[in-house]
Amino acid sequence: MDHFKIDQKLLASIMVDLKAKGCTLSFEEVTKVVDLITEEVIYRYVDHLISQVETIMEINPHLNEKEILETVAKNVVEYLGAEAASIRIYDPGREEMISFGSYPPRTEDREEAIPFEDTIAGEVVKSHQPYFVPNILYEEKYKNKEKVQKYGIHSMLAVPISIPRFSLKDVDMEGSFQIYYQEVDKVFTPLEAKIAEMLSRRVSYVIARKRIMNLQKLNVTKDKIVEQIFLKLGKREGIKMREVFNLVIPELVDIMRIQRCSLFSVSEDRQHVVLEAGFPEIHHGIGKAFSAKDEPYIDAVVNQTGPFGEFENEKIFPSYILIHNPQGSHLLPPDLKRFLEIQQIHSVLYIPLKVNEVVNYFLVFDAQAHHKRFIDEEIEIFIFFGKELMKGLRLEKMDDILHDFKNPAIAAAGFAKRVQKIMEEGSLLSKKEKVVQALDIILKETSRIQELALTLHGEGREEIVDLTEKLKQRFLINEEAMKELKRENVHLMEDNLESPLLIRCYPLHIERVLDNLLNNATNALPEEGGYLSIRSYQKESWAVAEVTNTGEIREEDKDRYLLGEGRGRGLHITTRLVKQMKGKMEMESGEGQTTFRVMLPLIMKEEG
């Protein structure tokens, strides 16, 4: 082997060592023996070592990082003829060495964490050098001697393991790879230590390959999320959150097989959260409000109260909360635990969505699968998804507002024309009362348009209002809009209107609900005309407003309409706002007419 020259000084040194041990060979004989060993023994040894390295480098990168390290531990144990191996990774935050897998996996005897200081694992991380323990019994830095001796282990070799950071947001992983042997007073050779170090270094290659694949998957998933949302934005009817959910949730199935997903917004005073959207929507009370202080899980997500870390039933971090044992978690109230048990939900993931470091929204994912942990890239996808939903929600609200501009804008224009006509006729004094009424309506409707625009930044304040008065006002505005749109042969009727019917709500919300119901009823009238009527009354603890129009809805479409799935945005907006006001909707259709009924919690007069 001309290409592999043995150092002459090394050969001379070997000859001297052999002679000292009673084996006298000439320089030529020593050279022949070394050549023979090089060609026959080292060749086979190196071939076997290369094969072992390739086995490690071919570890499936789809395994999680802990599983990869456990597989490496198994390969090293088998190759070196050891009894067991364990891996500990340094956690600088806790200043502890965290158990990160072993072979064989003896979890019942292995401590989850040991101190960084005055331990073998900590010493290996600090020195970046191997640590030899010929006899564990006499090693001061090895504390739990009884546990290893129970398995017949008496000596160990610890080598450093290092996984360099792969991106700016990653951190280097430093740790100790500990290999255990049965031999007492084992003599460790430098070759043994070098081989162990070399095998542990191959881990960085496998982890790097895994992280490259994770980043690629992350970017592909992000692209698909954006693509689906932009696809929806391109359609004329605008964006609806339930359709976005239906498009995007399937893109997340590789990360988490999701049964339910919800998006919550946090109120301005941070006392309540509102369910803004959900998947599947039929299982959610869209618009329902929950108290932040009364629900521990909401408080933990919204106010980031901590403590943070991995606990028996949940993992709590600023970027996410994973409850992997809902029935044992202290964060969930009994009624929610019962619901999750009935739905066979075993994992609940909360993703806070921050704006300027303040949680303004959060996502909730429910899964029947048992999810113990998520990698950073997966959490990043969930956060990205949530932020895209936040944009979508804002766009949906803008679409809703633009839709609801129509009636007040048309009415204001109509009354302005009426005032203009009176002034042109020179009959301002004789028709002063009508002019004052028209100007009052113009002022109110233009103020409403302004309020609608401001709802993107907040809803204002809840007030106690008379449902009947609001219904009469909106009926008048709808009448003016019909005149402007030249809808003819429509008979308008005010049926029994009981007053007062006091309700607590954002005034703009009830006005939008009534506008949309009246507008939808007007659009549903046959071309040849018909009648449109309103009615209000008390029914038990409900204040009820009814809008009835000529025309019927097909039986198979009734449920769809009540869920807000009719054509256009009107019913979609109405159903969401009614739920937010803790109300409900009913519909009757038959004998040539259709009635939509809004029922809202009634406030008794003495409470008002």
Residue-wise pLDDT for 286-328, tens only, equals 667 788 878 888 888 888 887 888 888 888 888 889 999 999 9
Q: Is residue 228 part of a domain?
A: no
The residue from 354, 386, 418 where one domain ends is 386
Q: Is residue 224 part of a domain?
A: no
Say whether both 146 and 2 belong to one domain.
no
**Alpha carbons 317 and 321: distance in angstroms, whole number:** 6
What digits encode the pLDDT tens for the residues 377-411? 677 777 777 777 776 666 666 666 666 666 677 77
Contact 521, 479 (CB under 8 A): no
Answer whether residue 272 shows pLDDT above 70: yes
What mean pLDDT is predicted for residues 38-53? 70
pLDDT tier for residue 244 given thresholds of 50, 70 and 90: low
**Alpha carbons 65 and 75: distance in angstroms, whole number:** 16
State percent of the chain over pLDDT 70. 78
What mean pLDDT is predicted for residues 461-485? 84
Contact 406, 484 (CB under 8 A): no
Say whether both 268 and 174 belong to one domain.
no
Q: Is residue 138 part of a domain?
A: yes
pLDDT score at 131: 93
Q: Is residue 309 part of a domain?
A: yes
Say whether both 67 and 184 belong to one domain.
yes
Say whether both 120 and 144 belong to one domain.
yes
Say whether both 193 and 258 belong to one domain.
no
Say whether both 43 and 109 belong to one domain.
no
Q: Is residue 139 part of a domain?
A: yes
H-only helix segments in 7-159: 8-20, 27-36, 43-57, 65-80, 120-127, 145-150
Say whether both 361 and 260 belong to one domain.
yes
pLDDT score at 546: 93
The residue from 47, 69, 85 where one domain ends is 47
Contact 474, 518 (CB under 8 A): yes
Say whether both 137 and 167 belong to one domain.
yes
Domain, as residue range, for 497: 461-608
What mean pLDDT is predicted for residues 238-245? 62
Contact 142, 131 (CB under 8 A): no
Say whether both 469 and 608 belong to one domain.
yes
Least confident of 81-95, 196-210, 557-571: 557-571
Least confident of 118-122, 226-230, 526-530: 226-230
Look up the CATH number of the domain holding residue 500: 3.30.565.10
Say whether both 68 and 12 belong to one domain.
no
Contact 517, 532 (CB under 8 A): no
Q: Which tops the pLDDT comparison, 138 or 483?
A: 138
What mean pLDDT is predicted for residues 150-172? 75
pLDDT tier for residue 576 given thresholds of 50, 70 and 90: confident
What is the Rg, in whole angstroms, of the alpha carbon atoms belonging to the chain?
37
Instruction: Identify the DSSP state of 42.
Output: I
pLDDT score at 236: 47
pLDDT tier for residue 2 given thresholds of 50, 70 and 90: very low
Q: Is residue 227 part of a domain?
A: no
Say whether both 106 and 25 belong to one domain.
no
* 358 contacts: CB under 8 Å, gap ≥ 6: none
Least confident of 51-65, 123-137, 495-509: 51-65
pLDDT score at 473: 87
Q: Is residue 444 part of a domain?
A: no
The residue from 341, 371, 386 where one domain ends is 386
State percent of the chain over pLDDT 90. 12
Answer whether residue 459 shows pLDDT above 60: no
Q: Strand 347-355 and strand 490-497: pairing?
A: unpaired
Q: Strand 502-505 and strand 490-497: pairing?
A: unpaired
**Alpha carbons 474 and 481: distance in angstroms, whole number:** 10
Q: Is residue 152 part of a domain?
A: yes
DSSP reduced 3-state for 482: helix
Q: How many domains does the chain have?
A: 4
* Mean model confidence pLDDT for the chain: 79
Nearest residue to 141 (alpha-carbon basis) of 171, 97, 79, 109: 97
Say whether both 479 and 587 belong to one domain.
yes
